[in-house]
Structure 1
Amino acid sequence: MEKKKILERFLFPSVKVDQNDLSKAISGKIVLITGASYGIGECVASGLASAGGTLILVARTEDKLLALKKELEQRGAVVHTFSADLRKEEELGALFEYLQRYSLEKVDILISNAGKSIHRLVYDSLDRFHDFKRTMALNYEAPVQMMLKLIPALEEKKGQIINISAINVLLAPASGWAAYQASKTAFDQWFRCVSPELKARGIACSSLYFPLVRTRMMAPTAAYNDMPAMQPGQAAQIIFRAIINRSRIYSPWWVFPAQVCSVLFRRPWEYLMAANLKKKSDAKGH
C-alpha cells in the first residue's frame, strides 16, 4: 500500500491553486458542471462554493444533488441544480428550458464532466449493442448537443469550455474498452476540430486528459483496485488551474513518452494482448 502511495505521488504530483486567484476568475460568473453529484464534479463544486460565482449542478442523482446544494448554500454559494439523464434528448431539452426560465442560459464556464465507463470484451457484447449506444450517447452526443446550445452565450461572455477527457484517447487502445475509448475519442476529436473556430470568437477551450481517477466510475473494474490513481480532489485542483489560466491542455508529465511507446511498440502491444486473451480463452475451454 505504501509503495502505491509513493508511486501515486510520483505519477500525480499535487497541484494547489491560490483561492484568491480562483475567486477573481469565478466571481460574478455562471459555471455549469455536468456529472456534479459525485467524484470530480462534486469536488469541483465544493471547491468553487466560496469563489463568488453561480453554480449550476447537473447530474442524474437528484437526492445527492439536493444534499450537495444544501451543503454549499450553507457556505454562502449560489447553487442551482437540475437532475437529468443527459443520454435522453428530452431531458437535455428540459435542462435548456430550465436555464432559460431562470435566466441562466448565459453560461460563462462549462465543465463537461459527465461520463460513462464500461469494460466488456467484444465477444461478451455480441447481443449488447445498447452498451455502445448508451456510452456514445453520454460521452459524445450529449456534450456536443450541450455545446451547440451554449456556444452563442459563451461567445458573448468570452467564456470557457473545459472538457474532462482521458489519457486513453492519447494512447494505444486496449481490448475490452472499445465502447468507452471510441466514445471519448469521438468527442475529443470533435472538440479539437471546433476549438480553433471557438478560440477565434474568444472562447477558451481546455482539454484535460486525466489518468485513472479514484471515483465510483472505476469501482466495477476490480483490476483497478491495486493500480495507482489520482484522487478527485487533485483533479479538481487541475480544473481550477485551467480556469485561472484559461489553459489549453493538461496531461500527466509521463503521457508524452507513453505516446511515443504507443507508436513504436504497437505491434508487440497488440500481440501481447491477443496472446493473453487467447490464454484466458483456452483456460475457460473456449
Structure 2
Amino acid sequence: MSESLQGKVVLVVGASSGIGQATAELAAREGAVVVAVARREDRLIAMKQQLASEGITLHVRKADVTSLEEMQAMVADVEKNIGNIAIAVYASGTNTPQRAMKVMPPAVWNEVLEVNLTGAFHLAHAVLPGMRSAGAGHIVFVSSTAGAIADLSGAAYQASKRGVLGLAHAIRLEERMNGIRTCCLMPGLTNTELVEKRPEKLSADTLEKALQPKDVAETIVHVMKTPAHVTITELLMVPSQA
C-alpha cells in the first residue's frame, strides 16, 4: 500500500528546523523533488549544501507564512519553474512562554494564531488551485496532540492547533471530488526548538524520551506514500514513555 515519491514535487513549509527540516531531507532522499520553504533562508541553504554533498538536489524558497502574497508568489514560482505540486506539508509552528491567559497579551495571541493557523490557511489557499487543475493533491498539516487533547500548552496554541484539525477536515470534504486529500498529523512532545519556548525547562531525560523530528518525518513520508484511494484523515502519535 505504498507508492514511490520519485519525481513528485513535494513542498515543505517550515523546513528550516525540526519536523519540517527532517521531512524535507527524508523526502529528498526518497527521490522526491523537494522544495524547502521558510523565512530563515540561511538554514535552507545550509541544508541544500549538505544534501548536495551527498548527491541529492534540494530546491529552496524564502517565504513568510503570515503573508498570503508571499505564499502565493512562492507557489506560483514553484509551479512555473519546477512543476505541479503533488504534496504540500505545513510544518510551521510557534508557541510562547507567555501562554497562560493571565500573562498573554493580545499581540502574542495574534502571533501564535497567525503562524499556526492562518499560515496553514495561506498555504492551502495558494496550492489548492493548482491541485484542482491537476485533479489530484495531498496536503499534510502538522498539528499537535494539543489539537485533540486538553493540556497546558496554552490557550493560543491549543486553539490554533484545534483550528488546523478543523481546516484539514473542511478542505478534505470540500475538495475530495477534485482528487485532493488532507491529513492532520498530531504529534506529542517532540524534541524541537519549540521546547525552548516552554515556561519551564524540560529535563534531559524527558527530552531523550520525547519524539525526535525524524520519527515524525518518517510518519509524514508514510502518509505521503499512501495510494490515491486511501486517505489518512488524522493521526495521533505520542512518545511511549515521556
Tell whether 2:90 aligns with 1:107: no
Q: 1:122 corresponds to which residue?
A: 101
Deviations 1:119-138 (A, max 9, x none): 4222212xx21111111111
TM-score by length of 2: 0.85
Q: 1:131 corresponds to which residue?
A: 108
The alpha carbon displacement at 1:77 in A equals 2.8
Moved over 4 A (4+): none
Instruction: Give the Cα–Cα distance (whole angstroms) in 1 for the partners of residues 191 and 171 of structure 2.
Output: 30
Return closer, same or farther for 1:35/1:254 CA change in 2, 3 Å cut-off: closer
**Stretches of structure 1 lacking an aligned partner (at least 5 in a row):** 1-20, 256-286
Tell whether 2:16 aligns with 1:31: no
1:88 aligned residue (67, 83, 88): 67
**Identity rate, percent:** 25
Aligned length: 230
Tell whether 2:120 aligns with 1:143: yes
Letter in 1 for 2:75: F
The alpha carbon displacement at 1:195 in A equals 1.1
Cα pair 2:147 2:164 within 8 Å, conserved: no
**Stretches of structure 2 lacking an aligned partner (at least 5 in a row):** none
Q: 2:215 corresponds to which residue?
A: 234
Paired residues for 1:1-286 under 5 Å: 24-104=3-83, 106-119=84-97, 120-125=99-104, 128-155=105-132, 156=134, 158-174=136-152, 177-221=154-198, 222-225=200-203, 226-227=205-206, 228-245=209-226, 247-248=231-232, 249-252=234-237
Larger Cα Rg: Structure 1 or Structure 2?
1
Greater helix fraction, Structure 1 or Structure 2: 1
CA RMSD, 1 decimal: 2.4
The alpha carbon displacement at 1:207 in A equals 1.4
